[in-house]
Amino acid sequence: MPPLGFIGWIIIGGLAGWIASKIKGTDAEQGVLLNIIVGVVGGFIGGWLLTLVGFDVAGGGWIFSFVTCLIGAVILLTIVNMVRGRK
């Protein structure tokens, strides 16, 4: 499986950020750019957390990368909402 590359991270990050914003109810506040940023940062968070529990995140492929970004993005938006004082 080839590495994702820059465009792959933007596409997967954007999709993961958008779905995470739908799950957390913040979609109306976020645009495309913020969804991409949330998804990519979520990928780093999710990858770090999954590595801590023993998953091999480097060889996971597109679907695993998407799920990793989605998990991390939901965690990120949960933390942001807690800091802002919302549910």
**pLDDT tens across 65-74, in order?**
899 999 999 9
pLDDT at 1: 40
Q: pTM of the predicted model, to two decimals?
A: 0.85
10-14's contacts with Cβ under 8 Å and 24+ in sequence apart are 10/36, 10/40, 12/39, 12/43, 12/62, 12/65, 12/66, 12/69, 13/37, 13/38, 13/39, 13/40, 13/42, 13/43, 13/69, 14/39
Mean pLDDT for all residues in the chain: 86
Under DSSP, the state recorded for 87 is -
> How much is the average pLDDT of 20-37?
86
